[in-house]
Structure 1
């Protein structure tokens, strides 16, 4: 049995609030296999985004274990986590997080430049073309629509060809047609690069496209549902 791409064992997250400690996640155990698409769903405050942050090493588990690609994220410091993410993970947020003083091309090339790739701009240009922005790559974020900005964010996340692609409400700020286009692009990137995809969503349509849907409530896993038919080569 191959090692899971992501593995959480009794992972807990407690944060300090004004009234004292608050349990955000309570004993999460979950394995994600290579190439699977996982939807994290549940009511607001159920812990979906926090779970995604644990998987990406953007939050540190208070207790338990969180592994990605066989590496224990809970033992890494911030610099080591940043290096690990840069080489292995792509992260897409609801609010885009583009650098406003950089063009689309410069935004997408940045992670490759930081990693020392000589062909950063060539690869960024190819990725922007793949998401339908070949004619917009020299525009700044303020000159682009929300849907276009999210395409840039997707291209930036995908251009290093990460093994793991994490997306937090990637269609949350978009209207219906743009949201549908981003859904198609997300799964297209997953298929094109062979990445494992984990996404947080309130969209039933987006969740329905995933191989597995994890339902969270009150910081724990309530239920899990699996697709009746999965893509070739990916187990249900």
Structure 2
């Protein structure tokens, strides 16, 4: 898919510290990164390198403690929680390793929820279309507990893209799935990204998934590795 030069996400000198038992713990340091509109970007690195935290900062799900985070031209570091929630609802879709479906709602109701919160009158029609797109049109009335892990993640994908977000964030979306289901979910993720024209940023440990992306950013100890260090790190 074609990209253009305008960054849809831009981070400048971002730092993130969290309070631990013995005081502040540095999670991210000196992160500067632009993600182009329409780009597919993989965030890779060993466990504890900060890649999931970086994704959360990009989505305003974790507030940076220093620097600036711009998404769609909006400085997320200046928004309060309510404003961040509205921004995500309007512009972002997020897929987690754990499916985070609402257990008391059907698959259709789970997918329709973001649209209902946005006041869309056609919420259930659009939700049904997205479930059809991930091959679950016949499971609309099933509760999450009645679905397999692969099916639950496909429902989560449909929910993430039902608002047609400009930015799609995925944190190890196949981490809880077996190889066959993981491959199917990743194919669907890329297909949905192409169909909606979203910018995709994905955290992954899988080299084959990273290779499918336009660009890969390597992290270690909360920092982006410069090109000269990547071969040694791998």
SS at match of 2:111: helix
- The answer to whether residue 137 in structure 2 is matched with residue 134 in structure 1 is yes
Conservation of the 8 A alpha-carbon contact between 1:66 and 1:72: yes
Q: Deviations over 1:58-98 (max 9, x none)?
A: 01111100000000000000000000000000000000000
- Matching of residues 192-203 of structure 1 within 5 Å: 192-203=195-206
Residue 25 of structure 2 corresponds to: 22
SS at match of 1:157: helix
TM superposition outliers: structure 1 runs of 4+ over 6 Å: none
Q: Deviations over 1:8-65 (max 9, x none)?
A: 0000001110011100000100000010000000000000000000000001111100
SS at match of 2:90: helix
- The answer to whether residue 96 in structure 2 is matched with residue 93 in structure 1 is yes
- Matching of residues 220-231 of structure 1 within 5 Å: 220-223=223-226
- Matching of residues 63-74 of structure 1 within 5 Å: 63-74=66-77
The correspondence for 2:37, drawn from 31, 34, 52, is 34
Q: Deviations over 1:170-215 (max 9, x none)?
A: 0000001100001101100110000000010111111110000101
SS at match of 2:138: coil
**In structure 1, how many angstroms separate the alpha carbons of the residues matched to 2:220 and 2:5?**
30
**In structure 2, how many angstroms separate the alpha carbons of the residues matched to 1:117 and 1:62?**
35
Q: Deviations over 1:92-148 (max 9, x none)?
A: 000000000000000000000000000000000000000000111110000000000
CA RMSD of aligned residues (A): 1.1
- The answer to whether residue 182 in structure 2 is matched with residue 172 in structure 1 is no
**In structure 2, how many angstroms separate the alpha carbons of the residues matched to 1:128 and 1:220?**
38
Residue 108 of structure 1 corresponds to: 111
Deviation at 1:223, TM superposition (A): 4.0
Residue 12 of structure 2 corresponds to: 9
Distance verdict in 2 for CA 1:106–1:41, change over 3 Å: same
- The answer to whether residue 156 in structure 2 is matched with residue 153 in structure 1 is yes
Deviation at 1:2, TM superposition (A): 4.7
**Structure 1 unaligned runs (5+)?**
226-236
Higher helix residue share: 2
